[in-house]
Chains A and B, each alone.
Chain A
């Protein structure tokens, strides 16, 4: 009887004597395993991306070799890579703190724009006269950017907490509003000579760059890395302390892991929702400040090649760990830097998309293990 049942089971026609089975992991995988898995997902994504590039008539090897050379080839381009990585670090941190609480803030792009607006407002309104010392100028700009970004994060946070409005859609809608808001000021208020950009900021409103010290240290000549990188690293340390070493961070993690338990533990979810969205917005706004006063030095339209969206992938790839965010940001900074010259121009965006898809799919292997079963042995 048992034999007959076996004949009817779907494995019996299997020409191979092996079968793949997925089993739920009973204990956590080793510490190195998630990193290897993420690395494997990236490799797979690059292979898949290469296939699409080849399909679209490009040469994937040339594209990838170009990305590597144009971003890590020498000290000069590596410095440019770090410049691109700087806003990604801050935006990646912004996304990771929100995602930690399972708040899907995908409005970092808009918060970035508002941060840039806040910093510009200080210079262009002008709140501070152009001859103000950099020691006052830069902190005030940073403060203005933090506040503007936090305000932009407050709206979806408040709507989520008060009316249970889906924060994904509301924060995304705020992005479009932010772009139109900035455009109004670029076109109508601060336009310089009819161009769609503001006037150049005074030198005291620029974040200092390594190249500024080339007279003392000749190696720094032409290096564009600016103070924003240090700000980003400091922010990562602060955020790490908040998440893993503070009571507030514990509350955030508990809400993210188990909102029911957090509620019974007496944690105020409403207040945390608003605060975390504001903190997330402030960090994204800081990225805007860093970009506008460290790189662009004026308010104009195209200040972001989608940093706010890349930040989502950075946060996810870094598994929401603030220090990993820094490393991942450098990789994605390279992709963005080199991607500017690659044809077709959508390649960096597409590769980012494929990487994210592969990463999410690979998370399955964190929860399940693959077993190859010898059917004959089992029989």
Chain B
């Protein structure tokens, strides 16, 4: 129950949610709601692990995971952008598809052996900072450090660059973007792909770095859905997404650790003496997601901001047909 260890591990497992959430922010900012995050993460985790087992190279596994999940996301892109199907139903079906595919292709993979993990290291100097250094910069996976870089980069890209402006335009007012000569379809395809790539990276982060291995559906255990919830909480902002993701990561770790010690805060630890109460602890991340959704939704109403205006709506250009 060392708070530093909990936060350190929380940042590590929060990185999974961070990647998935930021990927989904890109997709939703372009106006495409993709509920297939869970499926894409499973495909990513499965293909990353199987590639790493087969080749011995976790980097290759990571790249394959990103490509595989990115390709899967294009099924959703085609169905919602070209075929103008309901994004909710299509995203749901993508989760089914991704889950089923990863189960079939990952058959027997759970006993496939061990892999060499992605490098884990401490950052010199920064790791010397008291507390923060120990939590953020000591013995973390390289992907965790990449996560730190991704947050400001994603924010800068969305809010301060020209392509980011186009991204927001396509998600807020596609007809106007179209009139300016921005290809709505192409950009939406691209950002759905980006969302898939990051979901795949999130899956690879699980199977190559955080808890290596393939445990069929339990590999992600609903984290893809939590990420979709975090996007709403984050109000489509990478900084708030990071905040939520790391809190969730710490919560997951806290639930594991709280059952360990016999004495907790000077009293007999009830979770140690009633191990079955652990089932109620297991509910916490999911109950917390619902609470976070209530907070996010209320705030959206109060501040009169919220989802990109065109989120969930297909764009059909005048008489162009397809």
Binding site for B on A (CB under 8 A): 21-24, 52-53, 55-56, 104, 106, 155, 159, 163-166, 168-170, 172-174, 176-177, 180-181, 183-184, 187-188, 309, 312-313, 316, 343-354, 356-357, 359-361, 363-364, 367-368
Contact = CB atoms under 8 A, between A and B. Distances in A.
A344 B214 CA distance: 15
Contacts of B83: 360-361, 363-364
Contact of A347 (B104, B300, B301, B322): B104
B93 A360 contact: yes
A343 B107 CA distance: 9
B265 interface: no
A52 to B, nearest CB: 6
Interface of B: 35, 39, 75, 78-79, 83-86, 88-90, 92-108, 216, 221-222, 225-226, 228-229, 232, 274, 276-277, 279-280, 282-283, 286-287, 289-290, 293-294, 297-298, 300-301, 321-322
B35 A176 contact: no
Nearest to B300: A164
B100 A170 contact: no
Nearest to A309: B96
A172 B294 contact: no
B222 A172 contact: yes
A121 B290 CA distance: 26
Contact of B103 (A21, A345, A368): A345
B75 to A, nearest CB: 6
A21 B321 CA distance: 9
11 contacts: A24-B321, A55-B105, A159-B293, A169-B290, A173-B290, A177-B287, A346-B102, A350-B100, A353-B98, A357-B93, A361-B83
A184 B75 CA distance: 39
A341 to B, nearest CB: 14
A274 to B, nearest CB: 16
4 closest residue pairs by CB, A with B: A346-B103, A350-B100, A353-B96, A344-B107
A356 B293 contact: no
Contacts of B321: 21-24, 368
A350 B98 CA distance: 8
Given A168-B35, A176-B221, A361-B83, 8 more contacts: A56-B105, A164-B300, A169-B229, A316-B89, A344-B108, A345-B107, A346-B103, A364-B84
Given A165-B297, A176-B222, A181-B279, A353 B85 contact: no
B222 A349 contact: no
Nearest to A362: B83
Given A353-B98, A361-B79, A184 B294 contact: no
Contacts of B290: 155, 159, 165, 169-170, 173-174
A360 B86 contact: yes
A346 B282 contact: no
Contacts of B95: 353
Nearest to A164: B297
Nearest to B281: A180
Contacts of B101: 52, 346, 350, 353
Contact of A354 (B97, B105, B226, B282): B97
Contacts of B300: 164
B280 to A, nearest CB: 7
Given A345-B103, A349-B99, A357 B75 contact: yes
A183 B97 contact: no
Contacts of B75: 357
A350 B103 contact: yes
B308 to A, nearest CB: 14
A50 to B, nearest CB: 12
Nearest to B301: A164
Contacts of A343: 107
A364 to B, nearest CB: 4
Nearest to A312: B92
Contacts of A354: 97, 100
B79 A357 contact: yes
Nearest to B289: A173
B293 A313 contact: no
Contact of B104 (A159, A181, A187, A344): A344
Given A164-B301, A354-B97, A169 B88 contact: no
A144 B301 CA distance: 37
A346 B293 contact: no
A3 B139 CA distance: 69
Contact of A350 (B88, B89, B104, B108): B104
A65 B245 CA distance: 46
B301 to A, nearest CB: 7
A356 B36 CA distance: 13
Contact of B283 (A170, A176, A187): A176
Nearest to B322: A22
A159 B294 contact: yes
B14 to A, nearest CB: 18
